[in-house]
Amino acid sequence: MSILVTGGAGFIGSHTCVEMLEAGYDVVVVDNLYNSCAEALHRVEKITGKSVKFYEGDVCDRALLRTIFSENEIEAVIHFAGYKAVGESVKKPMMYYENNLISTIALINVMEEYGVRKLVFSSSATVYAGDNTVPLTEDMKLGAINPYGKTKLFIEEILRDLCASNSDWCVALLRYFNPIGAHKSGLIGESPKGIPNNLMPYISQVAVGKLEKLNVFGNDYETRDGTGSRDYIHVVDLAKGHVKAIEWTLGNTGCDAFNLGTGKGTTVLELRNAFVDVTGIDVPYVIAPRRAGDLDEVYALPDKAKRVLNWQAELTIQDMCEDTWRWQSNNPSGYDE
């Protein structure tokens, strides 16, 4: 029996493949390599000493999905495949609605055809409305403000309706906070194409000399030092959360949402300073205007994941900085080396 991982060559997917393989599961990956490289999967095999069966193709392609379900005994699916750049989603909303929604609908339909009804879905903290108070709990008001976030919200709704219509389904909606870091081996990590949008890859590219300086988007937020505060979570902790979520889906029915975060906020300057302390490398910065759509402070209450999934984050901000730097310095151009 295998677990199908869509988008398994990507940042979170590749780390999750490692943890699934190490937990004893067989893993089948489907990825169209739109935002990733097959090399990531070779490195997953190197880390674990186990093989990954890889299908290069699009999750929107039902014929391909049928081939995968016919050729393998799939027990459950982890669905990472999707586009994730917020700014791009505002400029090209149809590209996001089409890829993220159609791939999910195709996947659910083919899973139903093959009687596979256990699914873990990559949702995001971005589904929470901006006027909630922190820490965020799963029952709080939802409301995304950009097309990317709306795709996550719409998919959550679709999956809730699906589970309500057939009690054989079990779906875990995992709301990730801010995944950063990399595997301890330094072999896999985040490899953004072009200039990074997110803070940690930006910091590490300044450190490695690819970018000149960090722009700190605003220092007049309601936080300890005025810079935005987020709940950064080590990608390996996040990956382990998927192993727990798969176990939960295999033994349950219904649809439930879980925050995967640490419960702690770290500001932009705190993260930059921790990175400099851990690596000994300077990261020059300037204060820049606020970025549209950003909130003061976002962090999770992760208690439900602990209670129901028996999962909690263990790694520290220092681990996240150290592991990001090992990956970045060993692979200055990501997988493009």
For ligand UD1, the binding residues (CB under 6 A) are: 84, 86, 124, 126, 149, 178, 197-199, 202, 215-217, 228, 230, 268, 291, 293-294
Q: How far is the CB of 225 from ligand NAD (least distance, A)?
A: 23
Task: Find tokens 């505002």 and name the residue.
Answer: 90
* Residue 7 binds which of ligand UD1, ligand NAD, none (CB < 5-8 A, kind-dependent): ligand NAD
Q: How far is the CB of 328 from ligand UD1 (least distance, A)?
A: 15
Spot the catalytic one: 96, 148, 176, 299.
Answer: 148
* Residue 10 binds which of ligand UD1, ligand NAD, none (CB < 5-8 A, kind-dependent): ligand NAD
Query: What is the rounded CA–CA span in Å between residue 63 and residue 106?
Result: 10
Residue nearest to ligand UD1 (CB): 228
* Residue 224 binds which of ligand NAD, ligand UD1, none (CB < 5-8 A, kind-dependent): none
Angle CA 194–197–203, to nearest 5: 90
Query: What is the rounded CA–CA span in Å between residue 108 and residue 201?
Result: 33
* Residue 59 binds which of ligand NAD, ligand UD1, none (CB < 5-8 A, kind-dependent): ligand NAD
Q: List the beta strands (DSSP E) in 163-317.
A: 170-176, 178-180, 214-217, 229-230, 232-234, 254-260, 266-267, 285-288, 297-298
Query: What is the rounded CA–CA span in Å between residue 152 and residue 283?
Result: 33
Q: How far is the CB of 326 from ligand UD1 (least distance, A)?
A: 20
Residue nearest to ligand NAD (CB): 10
Query: What is the rounded CA–CA span in Å between residue 192 and residue 333?
Result: 9
Which of residues 23 and 287 has its CB atom nearest to ligand UD1 in the complex? 287
Residues near ligand NAD, by CB under 6 A: 7, 9-13, 30-36, 58-60, 80-82, 84, 99, 103, 122, 124, 176, 179
Which of residues 76 and 211 has its CB atom nearest to ligand UD1 in the complex? 211
Q: How far is the CB of 181 from ligand UD1 (least distance, A)?
A: 13
Which of residues 55 and 169 has its CB atom nearest to ligand NAD in the complex? 55
Q: How far is the CB of 169 from ligand NAD (least distance, A)?
A: 20
What is the Rg, in whole angstroms, of the alpha carbon atoms belonging to the chain? 19
Question: Reading across the β-sheet that carries 229-230, which strands appear in turn?
Answer: 266-267, 229-230, 297-298
The contacts of residue 125 (CB under 8 Å, 6+ apart) are 136, 175, 176, 177, 178, 231, 259, 261, 298, 300
Burial of residue 255 (number of CB atoms within 10 Å: 0-12, 13-18, 19+)? buried
* Residue 189 binds which of ligand NAD, ligand UD1, none (CB < 5-8 A, kind-dependent): none
The question of whether 25 is a catalytic residue gets the answer no
| CA distances, 273 to each of 165, 200, 302, 318 (Å) | 50, 12, 25, 10
Query: What is the rounded CA–CA span in Å between residue 91 and residue 128?
Result: 22
* Residues labelled as active-site residues: 148
